[in-house]
Amino acid sequence: MPVNIIAHAFAEGIDSIPFAWTAVKVAPVFALLYLLKWYFNGATNGSERNMHAKVVMVTGGTAGIGAEVVKGLASRGAQIVLLVRQPLSDPFLVDYIEDVRTQTGNELITAENVDLESLHSIRQFATKWVDNAPPRRLDAIILCANTMTPPGGKPTQTEDGLEATWGLNYIANFHLLSILSPALRAQPPDRDVRIIFGTCPAYVGGKMPGTDTNSKSEPGQLDFTPSAVYATSKLALMTFAVAFQKHLTNYVRPDKKPMNARVIMVDPGWTRTPGMRRYLTFGSLWGLALYLITWPLWWLVLKSGDQGAQTFLYAAMEAQWGRGEGAYFLKECRRSIWTRKEIDDEVLQKKLWESSERTVELLEKESAKRRAAEKKQKEKSEGKSNAGKANGDAKQRK
């Protein structure tokens, strides 16, 4: 059919074909849109790895990029352990897990209740995981959980009183990995273990007090404006990631084998996630209306969740990232170089690690005191209630 139309155009002229000139004028526009969309979609993962029987722990795995990473790995046979804030009996969570199992044909998808905004919840889960004997298999930890206060929004706090962006994006990951470190180091030497951090180009704008190595100030005294604290949380996370790789590498295994755990940082690119939508809409209804009006623009320049997941899948499966000694930074399914020199600063790494440990220790002590006081108050209230009930029963007997 197209050959006949072209032949007719040559024989009779293009004017003889209805709407031909309109198609000729419109075609370049569609071609340009196609090329722009292809460009903004970014690279596609071309690596494959046998993921059957591999245990992958995922935070932020129920929405956005994390959900697509879970589907991608589950469809390849990986056993997924989701760390979720919801109770395990939550109908949404139950339906979500069943849907993923059905879509991927993989029944090995489970969840553990871990509130990343609660240091106590993180410790409860991670301690239970580490205390298991023999050590539980763990092939990868993928950290996709992420939050940001939209511009103009009011900052919120975690259960422990930390600014939510700083608390979830950095402190929660620091606390989780610090406790899980023995479980990672206990994996057999022939196992390819990967710890994958999700980061963002915003890290370039981060500024941690204490980046001057002669300064006595400590990371943690932060500018809590939404964009500033988000950028700083990503810079701190990447600095910690490099330090954590050194922490793992410096461990001397009992079998004298080289450390087999590798830290990989992933920048997925700008993606249409719920978090990005909240940021673009300023967390408001009028912003949502504006977002819907301009949606074709965001469809064009932002990746879908599946496209954003490609570099995570590449990090989890590409063979070369399971070797070497340093931490890797991947962007668009290839290795990249971070641009902030502070990330390699060993003095800053040490200062950040020690400051984070002190912060966690202090907040956990305060949390323990608070829980003890609440338990005492609850017991006191129950005691009064039981005493009142006993007096009432006594009066009835009289």
Cβ-based neighbours of 365, under 8 Å, separated by 6 or more:
none
Cβ-based neighbours of 304, under 8 Å, separated by 6 or more:
41, 271, 272
The Cα 359–Cα 355 span in angstroms is 6
Dump the DSSP string for 306-341: HHHTHHHHHHHH-GGGGSSSS-EEEETTEE---S-G
Sign of CA dihedral 22, 297, 235, 266: negative
The Cα 85–Cα 94 span in angstroms is 13
Q: Which residue among 71, 234, 303, 331 is the active-site one?
A: 234
98 and 345 Cβ atoms separated by less than 8 Å: no
Helix or strand or coil: residue 47?
coil
The Cα 40–Cα 302 span in angstroms is 7
In which order are the strands placed within the sheet that holds 261-267? 109-113, 79-84, 55-59, 140-143, 193-198, 261-267, 328-331, 334-335
The amino acid at residue 85 is R
Q: For residue 234, indicate whether it is catalytic.
A: yes
Helix or strand or coil: residue 256?
coil
The reply to whether omega before 226 is within 30° of 0 (cis) is no
Residues marked as catalytic: 234
